[in-house]
């Protein structure tokens, strides 16, 4: 839900400071819990930065080793595999889930009766998507004898071992991710509402068809929201952990095909006693995500249109 | 589930770059916080299910009655996340006094000085193989909580229905297993497979390796298994799978880890490999008509493959605040017949032979089957099990990856074997 509060579009233009004093105060009041929580994260935050430069096996005190962890990362084949899994997962599933979210949002926007009900139904999966229970359910749906394969057998197709065949396990997780498009969809719906109907009427009068109206009115006016959803989804997707952990029983298997970066980090830290290395991995991911987001913001100048 | 979620949450924080330390001190409760009246509180952690919890608590009740002034606070959980949580607990500087220790983790803790050397513990009742099972040089950091081995269980209800004869479990070979399993699969007409076992479960491969005259890990902690043996292991499974004696690739990975979730319980497999101390729970889950056979190939190989092992060791933390009391508790669990009368053989046959003999008449019938199986093996000359060298857990991980690749024919058995030897050698060197 915090995602919704961060939506940039709804922020009013800055107004004269004095008039807003009281609002400021309640704003800070609302922020208080965040500051309190921050205290608990800021110390570990810097501690992990220190640990990234140490050899720390959890049992003995950390030992300073300079850049050795980072050098080891360059030659770590399993790390490269985990990066590959994470990037493929992100590159395929983020555009698909955003497209699905936008598509469904536009259909719902047409003014169907019972909209709140449909909206809730489509939103539900994204509340559940990364929960342990749903991934377990997913495992059964996609089991060798699961519902999906039984359905395919009806049409005479022998379904593969979706979750245990290294060629298909990641695909199954991508489908799961696309299915949880509800959260960007709700944001898209809010954005679509803000596009004045007058624009569409004017376009229709000029003889623009549905596709042209979508391309020349909807897309540009919605672009700040698309941008926001894109940035959010990319960050979340690069941090994927639960889906891989639960689906593979904590190993990243079959054959490392669901070994997400964060899952590998977890394995190094907590099962192989390499907390120094795991901390270094965490910081590399942090920097990668920060860079990617910065690039995103720079690129946004070229395609995001703010209609002030 | 809560425990796993707590671990996930901790990991998610780490992942977000918010720091490794945030994971410390979570999950387990505090330890060593004694009651005001001066009584000692010991913490004890282990893995297992509710049945094991009930039996363990019964033994602890006896201990607390005999030792007024000592309270034991015990915590248990599923085996899968145990390793991670124990590591976290040590990192937080709050290790449990007494803990179940995995064979493959022992050196990782002992070599770093995290475990108490059990010099003062009376191990005179243990046989040679049990006493040395977890020896690191001439020191002892872990005592077997029980003795077990692995064995083949066969569901007689299924074989009777299909009219397939079960081979003689003392003399059968791997070929006999293939013939038997193929016959079951054919009779079962696609609903039942003859047998199934993981290629990457080390205990299974250990047996096969020893039968070929090699050791997986040598006494010096090096890699003893050769590429030829790994290749033969992969090829044998591939042949059996092609003949439909084994289920299709990926099938085995979908079963849960408990007896109730196993394929032998659901009737999809007619036979599988289990740790013998779990015979009782498997037999209950599978309808009560399981036969317990030895591993195949024991009479055909260069030498014997089976060994006496332990499902878990007991270890004491070096930083325990109450080492004397923890040792007393461990001594009770190992050497007092009353403790084993309460726990039965949930962790295997008691390692103390006098205790094992004393409790045998009172055991449940299924536990007697498993006990006799093990006592039989103990009377024979078997190769020794050596402790896992540090790096053993990453070797297990690469075997799992490569075995899966081979199973799905993304790698040939020969390539897979070569890749495994290369990765395992590297893991032991670093």
**Which comes out higher in pLDDT, residue B150 or A17?**
B150
> Which residues, 6+ apart, have CB-to-CB distance to A90 below 8 Å?
A234, A237, A238
**Which comes out higher in pLDDT, residue A65 or B254?**
A65
- Condensed to tens digits (0 to 9), the pLDDT of residues A112-124 reads 777 888 888 888 8
Phi-psi region of B49 (alpha: psi -120 to 50; beta: other; left: phi over 0): beta
- Condensed to tens digits (0 to 9), the pLDDT of residues A224-266 reads 999 999 999 999 999 999 888 888 877 887 888 999 999 999 9
- Please say whether the beta carbons of A170 and A89 come within 8 A: yes
Averaged confidence pLDDT in chain B = 86
Instruction: Tell me if chain B has a CB within 8 Å of the CB of A159.
Output: no
- Condensed to tens digits (0 to 9), the pLDDT of residues B48-61 reads 888 889 999 999 99
> Residue B153 has what pLDDT?
95
DSSP output for B342-403: HHTTBTBB-SBHHHHHHHGGGS-HHHHHHHHHHHHHHTS--PPPPPPPTTHHHHHHHHHHHH
Reduced to 3 states (helix: H, G, I; strand: E, B; else coil), residue B115 is strand
**Which comes out higher in pLDDT, residue A154 or B227?**
B227
Phi-psi region of A143 (alpha: psi -120 to 50; beta: other; left: phi over 0): beta
Is the ipTM here above 0.85? no
> Residue A16 has what pLDDT?
52
- Condensed to tens digits (0 to 9), the pLDDT of residues B27-47 reads 333 444 455 556 899 999 999
> Residue B5 has what pLDDT?
44
At A261, list the tokens: 């970066």
Question: How many A/B residue pairs have CB atoms within 8 Å?
Answer: 151
Residue A209: Cβ-neighbour burial (10 angstroms; 0-12, 13-18, 19+):
exposed
Q: A288 CA to chain B: closest CA distance, Å?
A: 11
B91 → closest Cβ in A58, A165, A250:
A58
B408 → closest Cβ in A166, A242, A283:
A166
For the ranges A129-143, A240-254, B206-220, B221-235, which has the lowest average pLDDT? A129-143
Which helix (DSSP H) or strand (DSSP E) does residue A263 occupy? helix A261-266
Contacts of B267 in chain A (CB under 8 A): none
- Condensed to tens digits (0 to 9), the pLDDT of residues B169-212 reads 999 999 999 999 999 999 988 789 999 998 998 999 999 999 99
Q: Please report the residues numbered 271 through 300 in chain A whose beta carbons come closer than 8 angstroms to any beta carbon of chain B.
A: 271-273, 275, 278-279, 282-283, 285-286
For the ranges A48-52, B70-74, B130-134, B416-420, which has the lowest average pLDDT? B130-134
Across B166-319, where does the E strand assignment appear?
A: 271-275, 290-293, 313-316
State the Cα–Cα distance between residues A157 and A180, nearest whole angstrom.
27
**pLDDT band, very low/low/confident/very high, at A167 (cuts 50, 70, 90):** confident
Q: Mean per-residue pLDDT for A120-137?
A: 76
Give the pTM: 0.80
> Residue A33 has what pLDDT?
86
Contacts of A59 in chain B (CB under 8 A): 90-91, 109, 112-114
Contacts of A266 in chain B (CB under 8 A): 11, 14-15, 84
Chain-chain contact of A167 with B22 (C-beta, under 8 angstroms): no
Reduced to 3 states (helix: H, G, I; strand: E, B; else coil), residue B155 is strand
Q: A9 CA to chain B: closest CA distance, Å?
A: 26
- Please say whether the beta carbons of A96 and A174 come within 8 A: yes
Q: Which residue of A has its CA nearest to B9?
A: A242
Chain-chain contact of B404 with A254 (C-beta, under 8 angstroms): yes
């Amino acid at each position: 839900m915090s995602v919704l509060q961060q939506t940039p579009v709804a922020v009013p233009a800055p107004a004269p400071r004095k008039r807003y004093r009281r609002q400021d105060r309640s704003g800070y009041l609302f922020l208080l819990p965040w500051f309190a929580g921050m205290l608990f994260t800021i110390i570990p935050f810097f501690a992990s930065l220190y640990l990234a430069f140490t050899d720390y096996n959890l049992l003995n005190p950390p030992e300073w080793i300079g850049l050795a962890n980072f050098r080891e990362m360059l030659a770590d084949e399993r790390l490269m595999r985990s990066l590959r899994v994470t990037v493929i997962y992100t590159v395929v599933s983020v555009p698909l889930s955003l497209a699905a979210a936008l598509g469904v949002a536009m259909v719902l926007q047409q003014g169907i009766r019972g909209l709140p009900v449909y909206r809730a139904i489509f939103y539900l999966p994204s509340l559940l998507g990364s929960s342990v229970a749903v991934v377990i359910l997913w495992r059964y749906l996609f089991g060798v004898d699961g519902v999906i394969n039984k359905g395919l057998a009806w049409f005479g197709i022998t379904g593969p071992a979706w979750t245990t065949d290294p060629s298909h396990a990641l695909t199954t997780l991508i489908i799961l991710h696309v299915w949880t498009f509800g959260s960007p969809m709700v944001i898209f719906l809010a954005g679509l509402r803000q596009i004045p109907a007058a624009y569409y009427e004017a376009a229709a009068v000029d003889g623009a068809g549905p596709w042209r109206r979508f391309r020349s009115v909807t897309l540009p006016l919605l672009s700040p929201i698309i941008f926001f959803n894109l940035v959010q989804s990319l960050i979340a997707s690069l941090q994927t952990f639960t889906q891989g952990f639960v689906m593979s029983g904590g190993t990243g298997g079959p054959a490392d095909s669901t070994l997400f970066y964060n899952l590998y980090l977890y394995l190094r830290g907590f099962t192989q006693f390499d907390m120094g290395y795991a901390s270094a991995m965490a910081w590399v991911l942090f920097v990668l995500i920060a860079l990617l987001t910065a690039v995103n913001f720079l690129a946004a100048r070229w395609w995001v249109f703010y209609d002030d | 589930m809560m425990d796993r979620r707590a671990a996930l949450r901790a990991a998610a924080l780490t992942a977000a770059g918010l720091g490794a330390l945030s994971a410390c001190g979570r999950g387990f409760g505090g330890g060593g916080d004694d009651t005001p009246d001066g009584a000692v509180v010991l913490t004890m952690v282990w893995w297992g299910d509710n049945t094991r919890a009930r039996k363990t608590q019964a033994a602890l009740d006896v201990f607390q009655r005999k030792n007024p002034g000592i309270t034991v606070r015990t915590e248990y959980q599923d085996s899968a996340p145990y390793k991670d949580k124990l590591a976290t607990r040590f990192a937080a500087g709050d290790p449990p006094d007494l803990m179940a220790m995995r064979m493959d983790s022992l050196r990782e803790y002992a070599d770093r000085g995290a475990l108490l050397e059990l010099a003062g513990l009376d191990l005179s009742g243990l046989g040679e193989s049990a006493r040395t099972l977890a020896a690191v040089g001439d020191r002892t950091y872990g005592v077997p909580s029980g003795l077990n081995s692995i064995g083949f269980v066969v569901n007689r209800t299924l074989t009777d229905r299909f009219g397939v004869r079960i081979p003689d479990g003392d003399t059968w070979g791997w070929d006999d297993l293939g013939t038997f399993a193929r016959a079951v699969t054919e009779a079962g007409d696609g609903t039942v497979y003859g047998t199934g076992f993981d290629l990457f479960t080390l205990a299974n491969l250990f047996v096969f390796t020893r039968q070929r005259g090699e050791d997986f890990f040598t006494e010096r902690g090096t890699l003893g298994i050769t590429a030829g043996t790994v290749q033969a292991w992969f090829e044998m499974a591939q042949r059996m799978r092609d003949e439909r004696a084994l289920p299709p690739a990926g099938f085995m990975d979908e079963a849960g880890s408990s007896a109730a979730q196993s394929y032998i319980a659901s009737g999809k497999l007619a036979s599988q490999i289990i740790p013998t101390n779990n015979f009782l729970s498997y037999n209950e889950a599978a309808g009560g008509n399981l036969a317990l056979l030895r591993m195949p190939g024991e009479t055909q190989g260069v030498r014997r493959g089976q060994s006496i092992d332990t499902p878990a060791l007991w270890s004491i933390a070096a930083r325990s605040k109450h080492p004397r009391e923890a040792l007393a508790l461990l001594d009770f669990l190992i050497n007092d017949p009353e403790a084993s009368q309460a726990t039965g053989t949930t962790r295997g046959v008691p390692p103390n032979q006098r205790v094992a003999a004393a409790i045998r008449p009172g055991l449940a019938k299924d536990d007697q089957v498993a006990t006799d199986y093990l006592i039989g093996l103990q009377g024979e000359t078997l190769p020794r099990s050596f402790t896992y060298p540090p790096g053993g857990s990453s070797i297990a991980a690469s075997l799992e990856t490569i075995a899966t690749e081979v199973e799905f024919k993304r790698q040939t058995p020969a390539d897979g074997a070569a890749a495994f030897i290369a990765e395992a050698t590297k893991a032991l060197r670093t």
